[in-house]
Structure 1
Amino acid sequence: MVVDHRPQVRQVLLVTLALNLLVVIIKGSLGWWTGSLSLVADALHSTTDSASNVLGLVTSQLSSPKPDREHPYGHQKFEAIGALGIAAFLGAAFFEILKGVLERLLSDENPVTMSPVVLWLMLFVLGVNILVTYYERRVGIKLGSKILIADAHHTMSDVWITITVMLGLIGVMLGYPQLDIWLAVPVAGLVFRSGWEVLRENLPWLIDEMAIAPEAIHNLVMEVPGVINCHEIASRGLIGRQLFVEMHVVVDAQDLATAHGITEDIEAKLEDRFSPIRLTIHMEPPNYQSEKISYGEDSENGKDC
């Protein structure tokens, strides 16, 4: 049974959006007040946090797991598309930060001013970012929400960026104003890394990469009484969210009712391990054999089912 977690996801995104907007206001104000390039870059990164929350709310509304006439496999890939949007936001922030670094290096200006109040406010912001990261990741893992987990990755990068910026601001207070510029570079690197991780985790879902090793499915199916042979196993989707599995099987049955009962046992076995799952089984003649467990295997090198 497919469970719709979108109301819980939207609630989490609304809470984190409010906290992220607070962080953006504080960082932007401090960046304008101090003239710190690394602080401005940090505020820009936090702006993408808020934008990704809005994007997540939109895609969460669209990503219903329930199938309909136009989308018989559900709408959940909208959520993965939303996660890729977050990666795009991170990429834009990366280039904006590097642009600011080059502009500052090519100019003779050094407008950074500091005070202890700025560091205390940044410490408060750091605490908010850590709270948001823990909250989103915990709920995201519990619900199996890619958008929440991706957004938690994004916010975690904000935690490290804020720590880096604080080190630069301390350096400015100690008389090393150039440290503010140079520390903006690792900030850009952390932003890029976060975007790459989000991209890497969501592309396999969108391109229907294998979700479960065919051998793992094969071993489970062969434990079902009455199964003689199983082959050409394919899977896609996400474990814990929605899986689609196809396979060809040969069963020891003399009539359709018995064969149907065996396929029901197969479905129950896989549902117990990988729920929720939608399974399609193609029945083969009793004397049919195949060495190809999965697609793309050479029959010479494949294993006998």
Structure 2
Amino acid sequence: MMKPVDAGESAPIRDLSTPRRTAKIRQTLLVVLLLNLLVAIAKLAYGLISGSLSMTADGINSLMDGAANVVGLIGLAIAARPPDPNHPYGHRRFETITALAIAMAMVLAVIQIVQEAWHRWQAGTIPEVTPFSFAIMGGTLLVNVGVTLWERRRGRELRSSILVADAKHTAADALVSISVIAGLAAVRFGFPTADLVLAIAVAGVITWGAWTIMRDAALTLSDTAAAPVEVIERAARTVPGVRGIHNIRTRSGEGLVWVDLHIQVDPHLRVEQAHEIASAVAARVEEELGQPADVTVHIEPATSRHLRPTRGYRPWHEER
């Protein structure tokens, strides 16, 4: 049960409580880090021994996954800090910033793979492919697929951009591993250049994954609306006593949505009665969104000069 909310104050957050949510995300990242390191060691060791560039590139990619997990753990520790005078909304945005760091790690991996492909093409080196090559790639592929499915599910449950971004990174690994297996088969059948072609394909897949992470992070950091205005308005209008609604704004954080709205009520109501309506609106909006929300409700009297549909922003050149 949510406690009453004063006009202009925020509704209490029905959270995946921050400490519990942080602990679950940290636990997931630690498990994924361990698996990524094991997979990376297997790929890199045999890739270097056999001379397979695509296999080595895939190992570098998995190693970058592990580095991204470490960055994620550091970012998560910062994001879990409570609000302070300089960060009254908390530090949740650091999760999004960490997702960007993961994307940058992926870009660095692409640069390294492309450079190595160029050097290998100039040297004309042909990799050695054995049944053991396929065994390693097949085993690591199964690990990648399992990690992707599990981490993606956890990311959605906990509404964590770190886990969702890392799951995309691992999903790219799975696609990369499939392409590397195909390349190894092609080399086995007498097409040595396939290893170089597949290494470039690996770089392309990683690049696309990095782009999607950057795109999603940009949407969050630019305060893109988290929910349609119509949804918020419809929820608020179901509360008895609400005569008008305007200035609805939303933005998202990590596992949380911030909502601001103005409502009009009978100007002759007592403060306590208006306060109860605001509390009911905050609770109803959060219920409609179906996720933790920090809802701020501003009360205005239902008079003609307050019944405005929008805040009334003006173009910058008309502000003077």
**TM-score of the pair, normalised by structure 2:** 0.87
Q: Counterparts of 2:312 and 2:150 in 1: how far apart (Å)?
A: 40
Partner residue in 1 for 2:91: 75
State the structure with bigger RCO (CA 8 A, min sep 6), 1 or 2.
2
Q: Counterparts of 1:264 and 1:65 in 2: how far apart (Å)?
A: 28
Equivalent position to 1:180, from 188, 191, 195:
195
Structure 2 residue ranges without an equivalent (≥5): 1-13, 316-320
Q: Return the letter of the residue paired with 2:102.
A: I
SS of alignment partner, residue 224 of structure 1 = coil
Equivalent position to 2:152, from 131, 137, 140:
137
SS of alignment partner, residue 183 of structure 1 = helix
Q: Return the letter of the residue paired with 2:80.
A: S
Q: CA RMSD in A?
A: 1.8
- CA deviation vs aligned residue, 1:16-61 (integer Å, no higher than 9, x gap): 1111000110111111111111112111111110011101111111
- CA deviation vs aligned residue, 1:216-246 (integer Å, no higher than 9, x gap): 21121122111111111111114x8111111
Equivalent position to 1:241, from 251, 255, 259:
255
Moved more, 132-141 or 96-105: 96-105
Equivalent position to 1:268, from 283, 286, 307:
283
- Quick check: 1:117 aligned with 2:135? no
- Quick check: 1:89 aligned with 2:111? no
Partner residue in 2 for 1:165: 180
Q: Counterparts of 2:90 and 2:109 in 1: how far apart (Å)?
A: 32
Partner residue in 2 for 1:207: 222
Contact 1:87 1:198 in 2 (8 A): yes
- CA deviation vs aligned residue, 1:255-304 (integer Å, no higher than 9, x gap): 21111111111011012123422222222232121132x67599xxxxxx
Identity of aligned residues (%): 36
Equivalent position to 1:98, from 111, 114, 117:
114
Contact 1:62 1:75 in 2 (8 A): yes
Q: Counterparts of 1:273 and 1:188 in 2: how far apart (Å)?
A: 42
Contact 1:80 1:146 in 2 (8 A): yes
Contact 2:278 2:299 in 1 (8 A): no
**Alpha-carbon shift at residue 252 of structure 1 (Å):** 2.1
Q: Counterparts of 1:278 and 1:297 in 2: how far apart (Å)?
A: 27
Contact 1:226 1:253 in 2 (8 A): no
Q: Counterparts of 1:263 and 1:235 in 2: how far apart (Å)?
A: 17
Partner residue in 2 for 1:232: 247
Contact 2:22 2:76 in 1 (8 A): yes
Moved more, 137-146 or 75-84: 137-146
SS of alignment partner, residue 209 of structure 1 = coil
Equivalent position to 1:22, from 33, 38, 41:
38
Partner residue in 1 for 2:56: 40
**Alpha-carbon shift at residue 187 of structure 1 (Å):** 0.8
Q: Counterparts of 1:26 and 1:297 in 2: how far apart (Å)?
A: 60
Q: Counterparts of 2:25 and 2:295 in 1: how far apart (Å)?
A: 27
The 1:44/1:243 distance shift into structure 2, 3 A limit, reads: same
Q: Counterparts of 1:230 and 1:36 in 2: how far apart (Å)?
A: 64
Contact 2:176 2:202 in 1 (8 A): yes
**Alpha-carbon shift at residue 120 of structure 1 (Å):** 0.8
SS of alignment partner, residue 75 of structure 1 = coil
Partner residue in 1 for 2:161: 146
SS of alignment partner, residue 197 of structure 1 = helix
Q: Counterparts of 1:149 and 1:295 in 2: how far apart (Å)?
A: 37
Contact 1:247 1:282 in 2 (8 A): yes
SS of alignment partner, residue 91 of structure 2 = coil
Q: Counterparts of 2:282 and 2:241 in 1: how far apart (Å)?
A: 14
Q: Counterparts of 1:271 and 1:103 in 2: how far apart (Å)?
A: 56
Contact 2:100 2:213 in 1 (8 A): yes
**TM-score of the pair, normalised by structure 1:** 0.91
Equivalent position to 2:307, from 285, 289, 297:
289
Q: Counterparts of 1:65 and 1:256 in 2: how far apart (Å)?
A: 35
Stretches of 4+ aligned residues off by more than 4 angstroms: 294-298
Q: Counterparts of 2:178 and 2:143 in 1: how far apart (Å)?
A: 13
**Alpha-carbon shift at residue 253 of structure 1 (Å):** 4.8
Q: Counterparts of 1:286 and 1:119 in 2: how far apart (Å)?
A: 72
